[in-house]
Amino acid sequence: MINNSLIQLKPNEKAIIGEIVNCGSARKRLYELGLNKGAKVTMVKNDIGPVILNLYGHKLALGRGLASKIIVG
Amino acid sequence: MNTIALVGNPNSGKTTLFNALTGSNQHVGNWPGVTVEKKEGKVTHNDTEFNIVDLPGTYSLGAYSEDEVVARDFILKDNPDVVINVVDATNLERGMYLTTQLLEMGTKIILVLNMMDEAKAKNIEIDIKKLSKNLGVPVVATVASKRKGLDMLLEESISYINKEANQRSIKSYGDYMDKEILHIENILEGSNFDYPKKWLAIKLLEGDMDVLNYIEKNVQKDNFERIKNITGKSQDFELEIVDKRYEFVGEIISSSVVKPEVEKVTLTDKVDKIITNKFLGLPIFAIIMFFIFQITFVIGSDLLGGYVATAIEMFGEFVLNLLEGLNAPELLTSFLVEGIIGGVGAVFEFIPLIVVLYFFLGILEDTGYMARAAYIMDGIMRALGLHGKTFISMIVGFGCNVPGVMAARTLENKKDRMIAILINPFMSCGARLPIYLVFIAAFFPDNGGVVLFTLYVLGIITALILGKIFSKTLFKGESSYFIMELPPYRLPSFRVVIRDMWDKVWDFIHRAGTIIFVVISLLWVLSILPLGVEPYSQESILGRIGTFLAPIFVPAGFGTWQATVSLFAGIAAKEAVVAILGMVYAGVSEGSQLTLALQSVFTPLTAISFMVMTLFYTPCAAVLATVKSETGSSKWAIFIALYPFVLGWIASVIIYQVGTLLGF
C-alpha cells in the first residue's frame, strides 16, 4: 500500500502528481490526459466508487484501484 | 477536391463542428477492417469543394485504441490537404497535447478553439493572434453548436492549403533523447516507409506496439534487434516524451492564455454534488431510467407503434381488397400482403420505440449525464469484474439489443467490450415485451407488474453473473481501469440530439431492418409450402419443423409444434413469436381469441417456463449479424446463438420440473 497516493486525498485537498506505478498501459493514458508529473490536481470527491479530480478546471473520474497507484507530493 | 480531416478530443465538439459544416451532406460508414465509424461529408465554400473526414475523437495519436490508429493512419497515409484540430477552448492544456503530436507528424494543421463562448463565460482570455504566431499555424475561434466562426474556418482552410507552412514543433526532447531519436533514424535510413522516419523513431521510443510491429515487418532482422535494444533501455522514455509535449504546450499558452486564478464554483459542481452523491446517485439514476423506459414503451411502442401497426394493417387490407378485386392469384396476394407488407411492417412497428429511446438517450448524452451514469454504476459493476460503461450498453439493450451491442463500442478495452457484447442479449429487448404481455393477459392478469418486473430483473442478474464468469474464464487479460472525463453539464442542443437520433435510427433500419424483413418474408414462404397446404398448419414446412423439434421442449412443458414454431420464428425476429402463436392457434395475430387459445393449451406453470425461455434463448438474427460484425468473427455469433439457447432450455426445464413436483 502506497501511503501518499491520490486515494488518500480528502475533498478540496490539492496535490501535485508524482510517479505512477504498476498499472501497465493505463500509465500512458493518464499522462496523456494531463496527469503527468508535476500536474496540479484538486480532489473533488472521494467516498465510494471512482474518485473525481479537478484537473485544469475539468473533471476526471478515476477508478479507486488506479488512484491508489498515482503518487502525489 | 481538397480533403480536410477533423481531429480532436472526445467532448471537444468536433462532431458538432462536422455536422455544422457538412449539414445533411454526409455519409456514415465504417473504416475498413475495424469497427470504427467513418463519417465523411462535403461542403462548398466560395466555389471550393471540400471533402471533410471526421476522424474518431481521441486524446492522443498512439496505439491505445483502434480509434487512435485509424486517426493517425489517415493523417499519415491519406495525406489530407489540411487537418483541422478541434480543441475545447476551456481546456487548452489537455487539448493541445494532441496538437503537439500533429505537429510532430509534420502535417498542415489549423487550430480551432471551439466553445469560445464557454471560455468567455469562464473569464479565460485567449490572445488568438499571439497563439497563432507562437505555433506558426492559423488559429480560428468557433462556437460549433451556434454555427459561429464556420465561414472564417473555411476561408482560412482555402488560403492555408495554398500557402507554404511554417509550423513550429518540439525542437528538442532533451539531449539524451535527441541522440536516441537520431540513432533510430539512422538505422531506419535506406528503407522506405509509409511514415516519416523521425515520427517512427519517436513512436518507437514511446513504446508504441503498433509501430513496433510495423517496423518488425519492414526492416531487416538485425536492424530490428538494434532498435529494440535502444527502446528497451528505459521504461521512462515515454514519460520524457510526454513531459516534453506538455512543456511545449505550457510554453505556447503561457504567453497567450490567461486563466483566472480562482475558479468559480460552477453550476456543474453544484449539480454534481447531488447527481453523483453516494446516497442519491443511484436512486436518481434509477428514477431517470424508469421514466425514460415508461415514456419509450407507452409513447414509442404502444401509442406511436400502434399507429404504425394500424396504418400498415389498413394498407395491407387495402392491397388485399385491390388484388381480390382484380382476381389476382391467391398466392400472389398472400405473398404481397403477408410476406412483403408483413415483413416491412415488423420493421416499421418497431421504429417508433427506437426513435423515442434514442431521443432520450441522446439528451442524456448531450447534457453530460451519461458519463455520470457510468460513473455511478462503476462501483457496483466493478465488484462483478465489469466496467461502469458496460451498464450503459445494457440499458440501451432494453430497447433493442442491436444498438445495445453497438453501444459496447464505447468500451476501449477489448475484454470489457467482448463481455458487454456477449451479455447484452439477456437484457430483455422491446420486441420480447409483447410476448410477456400476451401470456400475462392470459394467466396473470392480476399480477402482471410483478411477473414483468421479475423477468426483467432475472435477465439483468443473469447478464451480470455471466459477465463475472466470462471475465474469469473466457477473457482473462488485463482488467481495465475506470478513466473517464466528466464533461460540464450543458443544455442539450435540439439540433444535435435530433441529428444524432436520425443517424442511429437509419443505422438501425439499415442493419436490422433488412435482416428482419428478409427473415419474416422467409417465414411466410415456409408457412405456405408445400403448395396447397393450409397456411400455418402442421403440414406446412414450418409446421413440420415445429413437429420435428417439439420433443426437445417436452421436459420444459411446452413441447407442442405450435410453441416450437413460434420460438423458431423468434430467432428470425422476436416480434414474430406472438404473431406466429396467433396464426397457428387462432388464425388471428392477436387479441382475445389468442388469449383464450393460450389458456386452453398452456398452464400458468408452462406459461412461466415459456416466458423464461423467450427471455433467455437465442437472440434474433439481426443481433447475431451485429455480433458478427462487431466482433469481426462468426465464431462469437455462433457462440451467442447457442449458449443462451442451452441456458434458456435448462432454466425452463428446471422451472417446469420443480414446479410440477411442487404441485403447480
Q: Are B262 and B231 in contact (CB under 8 A)?
A: no
Identify which of B549, B558, B545 has the alpha carbon closest to the alpha carbon of residue B607: B558
Going by pLDDT thresholds of 50, 70 and 90, the confidence category of residue B590 is: low
pLDDT digits (tens, 9 = 90+) for B309-323: 888 888 888 988 888
Examine the pLDDT at B150 and tell me if it is beyond 90.
yes
Annotation: CATH topology of A6-72: SH3 type barrels. (2.30.30)
Examine the pLDDT at B586 and tell me if it is beyond 70.
no
Q: Does A1 touch chain B (CB under 8 A)?
A: no
Here the cell at position B622 is 439481426
Contact between chains at A29 and B93 (C-beta distance less than 8 A): no
Contact between chains at A59 and B243 (C-beta distance less than 8 A): no
pLDDT at A60: 94
Chain B residue closest in CA terms to A33:
B94
Strand-pairing partners, residue B38, are B29
* Block mean pLDDT (10 aa), chain A, length 73: 85 91 82 87 92 91 92 88
Count residue pairs from A and B with Cβ separation < 8 A.
110
Cα–Cα distance measured from residue B664 to residue B661, given in angstroms and rounded to the nearest whole number: 8
Chain B closest CA to A37's CA: distance in Å? 8
pLDDT digits (tens, 9 = 90+) for B599-635: 888 999 999 999 999 999 999 988 999 999 889 889 9
Instruction: Provide the residue ranges of all domains of chain B, joining segments of one domain with +.
Output: 2-161, 175-258
pLDDT digits (tens, 9 = 90+) for B44-72: 998 999 999 999 999 999 877 888 999 99
Q: What is the largest CA-CA distance in chain B?
A: 90
Chain B closest CA to A34's CA: distance in Å? 6
pLDDT at B357: 84
Q: Where are the beta strands (DSSP E) in B482-548?
A: 483-486
Going by pLDDT thresholds of 50, 70 and 90, the confidence category of residue B587 is: low
> What is the rounded average pLDDT for all residues in chain B?
88
Mean pLDDT for B301-314 is 84
Please, which residues have CB within 8 angstroms of residue B248's CB and are 6 or more apart in sequence? B100, B170
Examine the pLDDT at B589 and tell me if it is beyond 60.
no
Out of A33, A47, A62, whose CB is closest to B94? Answer: A33
Cα–Cα distance measured from residue A21 to residue B275, given in angstroms and rounded to the nearest whole number: 31
Contact between chains at A57 and B91 (C-beta distance less than 8 A): yes
Mean pLDDT for B250-258 is 91
Cα–Cα distance measured from residue B585 to residue B588, given in angstroms and rounded to the nearest whole number: 8
Examine the pLDDT at B378 and tell me if it is beyond 70.
yes
pLDDT at B201: 94
- CATH architecture under which domain B2-161 falls: 3-Layer(aba) Sandwich (3.40)
Cα–Cα distance measured from residue B581 to residue B588, given in angstroms and rounded to the nearest whole number: 9
CATH number for the domain whose boundaries are B175-258: 1.10.287.1770
Four-residue CA torsion sign, A38, A42, A47, A49: negative
Q: Are A61 and A52 in contact (CB under 8 A)?
A: yes
Q: What is the largest CA-CA distance in chain A?
A: 29
- B323 Cα distance to chain centroid: 43
Strand order across the B48-54 sheet: B26-30, B37-45, B48-54, B2-8, B82-88, B109-114, B139-141
Mean pLDDT for B212-231 is 90
Examine the pLDDT at B106 and tell me if it is beyond 80.
yes
Whether B2-161 and B175-258 share one fold: the answer is no
Comparison of pLDDT for B285 and B306, the residue scoring more: B285
H helix runs in B586-620, sequence order? 592-601, 604-616
With beta carbons under 8 A apart, name residues in chain B contacting A57: 90-91, 122, 259, 263
